[in-house]
Amino acid sequence: MLPSPVRRAVLLAVTGLVATLLPLVATAEPTQASASCTTEKPGFLGATCDDEKPPNTTSATGTQSAAGQVTVTANFVYSDSDRDPVGFQCQLVGTASWGPCVVSGLAAGTARIAIRAIDTADSALNTKCDELLCGNTPEVPDFDATPEVISVTLTSGGSGGGTLPPPSGPNGEPETQISDAPLDKITPGAPVALTRTPRITLVSSEPATFNCAINARKVPCHDGVNVFRGLKPGVKVFVAQAVDKDGKFDATPASITFYVPINLSAAQGKGWTNVKSRGSYASDYVSTSARGAVLTVASVTGVHEVRLVALTGPKLGKVAVRVGAGKWKTVNLKSGKSQKLQVFMIRSANAAKVSGKVQIMALKVPSGGTVAVDAIVAR
């Protein structure tokens, strides 16, 4: 059984899952939604309106400014008539913290960094809204909810040539840091792992062992790179807690949330064939040359987002995907270059909930060609 701090951390991570997946549901005080609001300064009876349109991040670049350090610069556009000062926050993808856009302690190699614009004037305000005026409408955060993600190649790493450890806790207890994890440009804060064996790197502020859990079940882990195998499809909450040689433990364990896709199999339909393929999800994909062949993948309940992971290439045709009795969404797999692990958005995370069987149909098969699909994301 996990130590009580880890059990508490796991419960906190699971109950905070919605906040992790949907950062628009913040813990701020309720405010009055107003499409015309451009400032959140206090008004009558202490109430304020909610500026629902944060600035949009348009582009960003990153350069190595020192060993193990990247400086990020970005651009933005205002989304309404609000002209409040705008700043930027950065996040090393795979971690939970946002901070300054000078990111240090990086290892040599490629670093992926997310950048978001933020309305600094409105974000600094913490004015309560009168409940009679505002009800229970949650506040829309004052930062861009669709950050840019860039990749920067570092020719030299930080101290020791690798990831720098975090500082110790306020009372000398160890601090835990997740420095590498599944990456996803579409949803950086809740990535989809396009592998059945995701890698997660753990670092502590001092030599330590680790207690780890995935969805509240203890899993073995250690300092450095950890590879997790045999994960079933679905949302995974990973929690790690450093414990030093004196038995002191991190009271605020590190955690990440990611999603493991559903692997496709020829057994899910007629006329399909499993094809072994290195570099594909779960080392295989399924294909058919029979127009109208259908895969019935799984039954899902109350999902918003659906993605198809598939192959593209010159001799590939079209497929269609639907959930339950919903409309078929057409996906064209034809392209000039053969590529694996291509991701197609069928339904966005903001779409209404749907339930039912996920189906994939071979809609068009070119002469001498096939269609080839690999995995499904449904969450």
CATH number at residue 59: 2.60.40
Residues 218-275 pLDDT 10s: 999 999 889 999 999 999 999 999 999 999 999 999 999 999 999 999 999 999 999 9
β-strand partners of 113: 92, 150
> Does 26 have pLDDT greater than 60?
no
Pairwise CA distance, residues 255 & 239, whole Å: 4
Domain harbouring 278, CATH code: 2.60.120.260
End-to-end CA distance of the chain: 29
**Inter-residue contact 197 to 158 (CB < 8 Å):** no
Asked whether 355 and 323 are in contact (CB, 8 A), the reply is yes
Please count the residues of the chain: 379
Residue 87 lies in a domain: yes
**Confidence band of 42 (pLDDT split at 50, 70, 90):** low
In a domain, 196, yes or no: yes
Residue 32 has pLDDT above 70, yes or no: no
Phi, psi at 175, each rounded to 5°: -110, 140
Percent of the chain residues past pLDDT 90, beyond the cut: 57
- Is the pLDDT at 79 greater than 80? The verdict is yes
Q: Is residue 104 part of a domain?
A: yes
Is the pLDDT reported for residue 367 higher than 90? Answer: yes
Given 260, 278, 305, the domain boundary residue is: 260
One domain for residues 72 and 103: yes
Q: Nearest CA to 182 among 190, 170, 172?
A: 190
Residues 281 and 244 both lie in one domain: no
Q: How confident is the model at residue 379 (pLDDT cuts 50, 70, 90)?
A: very high
Tell me the pLDDT band of 45, cut-offs 50, 70 and 90: low
Same domain, 146 and 234: no
Task: Answer whether residue 129 is part of any domain.
Answer: yes
Q: In terms of residue numbers, what domain contains 111?
A: 31-152
Does 268 lie in the same domain as 252? no
pLDDT exceeds 50 at position 173: yes
The proportion of the chain whose per-residue pLDDT surpasses 70, expressed as a percent, equals 82
- pLDDT for 6: 44
> Residue 186, CB half-sphere, CA atoms under 13 Å: how many?
19
pLDDT at 204 exceeding the cut of 70: yes
Q: Between β-strands 329-332 and 254-260, what pairing exists: parallel, antiparallel or unpaired?
A: unpaired
pLDDT at 127 over 60: no
Cα(100)–Cα(237) distance, integer angstroms: 26
Who wins on pLDDT, 131 or 49? 49
What is the number of domains present in the chain? Answer: 3
The pLDDT score that the predictor gives to residue 236 is 97
Question: How far is residue 311's CA from residue 333's CA, in Å, rounded to a whole number?
Answer: 7
Residues 60-85, mean pLDDT to the nearest whole number? 87
Residue bearing the bigger pLDDT, 122 or 311: 311
CATH of the domain at 253: 2.60.40.10
In a domain, 350, yes or no: yes
Q: Give CA–CA dist 55/82, Å, rounded.
A: 9
In a domain, residue 102? The reply is: yes
- 51-67 mean pLDDT: 87
Which of 99, 123, 152 marks a domain boundary? 152
Average predicted confidence (pLDDT) for the chain: 84
Three-class SS of the chain: CCCHHHHHHHHHHHHCHHHHHCCCCCCCCCCEEECCCCCCCCCHHHCCEEECCCCEEEEEEEEEEECCEEEEEEEEECCCCCCCCEEEEEEEECECCCECCEECCCCCEEEEEEEEEEEHHHHCCCCCCCHHHHCCCCCCCCECCCCEEEEEEECCCCHHHCCCCCCCCCCCCCCEEEEECCCCCCCCCCCECCCCCCEEEEEECCCEEEEEEECCEEECCCCEEEECCCCCCEEEEEEEEEEECCCCECCCCEEEEEEECEECCHHHECCCEEEECCCCHHHEEEEECCCCCEEEEEEEEEECCEEEEEEEECCECEEEEEECCCCCEEEECECCCCEEEEEEEEECCCCCCEEEEEEEEEEECCCCCEEEEEEEEEC
Of 228, 260, 292, at which residue does a domain stop?
Answer: 260
Quick one: 277 and 180 in the same domain?
Answer: no
pLDDT band at residue 165 under the 50/70/90 scheme = low
Under the banding of pLDDT at 50, 70 and 90, the label for residue 164 is low
Q: Same domain for 225 and 290? A: no
